[in-house]
Amino acid sequence: MKTGGDFLTKQICTEEIFTREKFSPEQEEIAKTVEEFARERIRPNKQKIEKYNKDLSLELLRECGELGLLSVDIPEKYEGLGLDKVTSAIVAETLGFGLCASFSTTMGAHSGIGTLPIVFFGSNSQKEKYLPKLGTAELVSAYCLTEPESGSDALAAKSKAVLSEDGQNYVLNGTKQFITNASWADLFIIFATVTGKFTGFIVERNSAGLSIGPEENKMGIKGSSTCTVYLENVHVPVENVLGAIGQGAAIAFNTLNIGRFKLGAATLGGCKAAIEETLQYASERRQFGQSIRNFDVIKGYFADMSIRTFALDSIIYKTVGLIDDAVSEIDESSATYDSGVAEAIESYAIEASICKVVGSETLWFVADKGLQIYGGYGFIEEYPMASVLRDNRIDRIFEGTNEINRQIISGYFLKKALMEELPIREKIKENGNGLAGTDDHLDVLSKEKRGIEAAKAAVLYVFNETICKYGQDLPNEQQIGSMLSDLFSDIYLVDSVLKRVIQKFATSEVDRNWLAIARVFSAEKFYEISSSCKKIVSSILENKDLENGLRDLNTFDKKMHLTTNVFELKRQIADNLYEKN
């Protein structure tokens, strides 16, 4: 049976994974529509949007509504398209070609965290009343969780809701801070406690006592709206409670799970658009009598940007594919279908957090390298990379900071290990008797396939040692937990890249460029994995135990460490990128 996090204990070749090569004709068509919209409507308007242009941003949002892009996740019964999560990720990704993170944020907050709580947890009458209008952007929405004194510690929120004497309304008091779309929104999903029970409410803008503070003066995404929302004795009808009293945490966090893989998808589009812009610039810019793209170090940068983007692409679509599989097993006629979808998504919370962390950090890497390739022009606002870098810095902070997401990743793995939901101990024992061989007939990437099994064995070994040492207190060892989280993410990345490439070669000719990407990516990750494993073991073991630990890790290293000429392969990858543009 498939379950979140099982990539750590399963062998690489056992199951097919979803990749963009498997997009259906309908999904390809939607990708084309969104790309056209992003290139023709968003990109040319970027400068105007960035000057904080409410009318233009909302006009473009309504255009998205007309194209159906806001209603991909809204069921058909409520005038939505009711499409799969792969399509949802395609929309988030492809909008990135607009190279305008402000608009992507406006749209993402509206159609994602602002709409999905109603899709998954709303009553039928709430859905009937709000979803059709959210799908067209006749109503714009915002999601209000953060408060001045509670950001990451969201459940410590001080906002309170008290039932009125006549039992008709909840009276809300509190302050919500840093709320995307706040000054443009008609509808607010607001979390507050009712006698200590965390609860979600749907609050309409015209409610007396609801007011909006001034726009924040932000470092980036300046074309989006971010304000404080004040609640002073706001009367919210009891029928606007979202789900049940006390269900707020499940609503808030499940919504964020979805927000996380969608944010990962949005960063993927950002990476591709940033590479495209940078390549165009590098092809035109000449120094020392030649195009700067010909310099070896610049080729290395383009290769690194492309390889990491390929890897991000692989985990995004593998993850949404897993989610869609889980969703397809739910009975559509069941009354709890929509909340069941949220639960199915939660079962891949590990993968969703990995998509968010890897996506935000990959885009940061790509934007930084892109800016460097622009040289001094990169630092000048008329050129695109300065804003790409500033605008995307927020991706590492919202939808749960990357520190919190790393804790989610390692925390879920710890829980799964302690509850024996994943066969971690059995696998370690098995590895002690020698690593399993790979089971498919292809001889391409055979070294890498052995390598990934060895890398998994090394990570499991180290994970087990940390559990033996700290047990349930492991979450307090945050530096180690964070490193473990990166090890799990690296395994997911390499596993997905190799599987994607192997899978493609099973039905088509071996492509030199794909092979090069898979070989460089795995070789570089194996070095990192080996070094991090040794760092952790050296911190938690002593004397003879440490000697034994390092010796055991060295046996895995021998199978992981490859004699790959990564520099030559990177030149080849860059040349291919230049040739195919």
Is 474 a binding residue for ligand FAD by CB under 6 A? The answer is no
Contact 230, 175 (CB under 8 A): yes
- Kindly state the helix (H) or strand (E) to which residue 64 belongs, with its residue range: helix 54-66
Kindly tell me which of 178 and 412 has the beta carbon lying closer to ligand FAD: 178
> Which residue stretch of 1-9, 81-89, 162-170, 398-406 sits at the interface with ligand FAD (rule: CB under 6 A)?
398-406
Give the Cα-Cα-Cα angle 88, 93, 96 (nearest 5 degrees). 135
> Which residue stretch of 177-185, 330-338, 448-456, 522-530 sits at the interface with ligand FAD (rule: CB under 6 A)?
177-185
Cα 302 from chain centre: 23
* Gap between the terminal Cα atoms of the chain: 41
Contact 358, 264 (CB under 8 A): yes
From residue 475 to residue 504, the character string flagging contacts with ligand FAD as x (rule: CB under 6 A) and all else as - is: ---x--------------------------
**C-alpha distances in Å from residue 76, one per residue of 79, 110, 115, 474, 511:** 5, 18, 15, 45, 41
Kindly tell me which of 145 and 573 has the beta carbon lying closer to ligand FAD: 145
**C-alpha distances in Å from residue 63, one per residue of 33, 237, 283, 349:** 12, 32, 34, 32
Is 234 a binding residue for ligand FAD by CB under 6 A? The answer is no
Among 58, 397, 428, 442, binds ligand FAD (CB under 6 A): 397
Is 398 a binding residue for ligand FAD by CB under 6 A? The answer is yes
Task: Give the nearest distance from C-beta 217 to ligand FAD in angstroms.
Answer: 11
CA distance 46 to 224: 12
Task: Give the nearest distance from C-beta 479 to ligand FAD in angstroms.
Answer: 10
> In this structure, are strands 241-242 and 169-180 parallel, antiparallel, or unpaired?
unpaired
Name the residue number minimizing CB distance to ligand FAD.
Answer: 151
Using CB under 6 A as the binding rule, the residues of this chain from 143 to 162 that contact ligand FAD are 143-146, 151-152
Contact 427, 522 (CB under 8 A): no
Task: Give the nearest distance from C-beta 515 to ligand FAD in angstroms.
Answer: 38
Among 327, 404, 409, 529, binds ligand FAD (CB under 6 A): 404
Q: Is 399 a catalytic residue?
A: yes
Is 192 a binding residue for ligand FAD by CB under 6 A? The answer is no
From residue 124 to residue 143, the character string flagging contacts with ligand FAD as x (rule: CB under 6 A) and all else as - is: -------------------x
Contact 570, 303 (CB under 8 A): yes
State the number of binding residues for ligand FAD (CB under 6 A): 19
Q: Which among 351, 399, 465, 477 is annotated as catalytic?
A: 399
CA distance 344 to 349: 9
Is 249 a binding residue for ligand FAD by CB under 6 A? The answer is no
Task: Give the nearest distance from C-beta 333 to ligand FAD in angstroms.
Answer: 34
- Residues with Cβ within 8 Å of 273's Cβ and at least 6 positions away in sequence, in order, are 96, 97, 98, 99
> Which residue stretch of 336-344, 391-399, 413-421, 563-571 sits at the interface with ligand FAD (rule: CB under 6 A)?
391-399
Task: Give the nearest distance from C-beta 196 to ligand FAD in angstroms.
Answer: 20
CA distance 548 to 513: 40
Is 121 a binding residue for ligand FAD by CB under 6 A? The answer is no
Among 111, 180, 360, 576, binds ligand FAD (CB under 6 A): 180
> Which residue stretch of 130-138, 399-407, 417-425, 531-539 sits at the interface with ligand FAD (rule: CB under 6 A)?
399-407
C-alpha radius of gyration, the chain, whole number: 24
Helices (H), 433-542: 446-470, 478-507, 512-540
- Residues with Cβ within 8 Å of 362's Cβ and at least 6 positions away in sequence, in order, are 267, 268, 271, 308, 309, 311, 312
Which residues of the shown chain bind ligand FAD in the complex (CB under 6 A)?
109, 143-146, 151-152, 178-180, 218, 226, 394, 397-398, 401, 403-404, 478
Which residues are annotated as catalytic?
Answer: 399
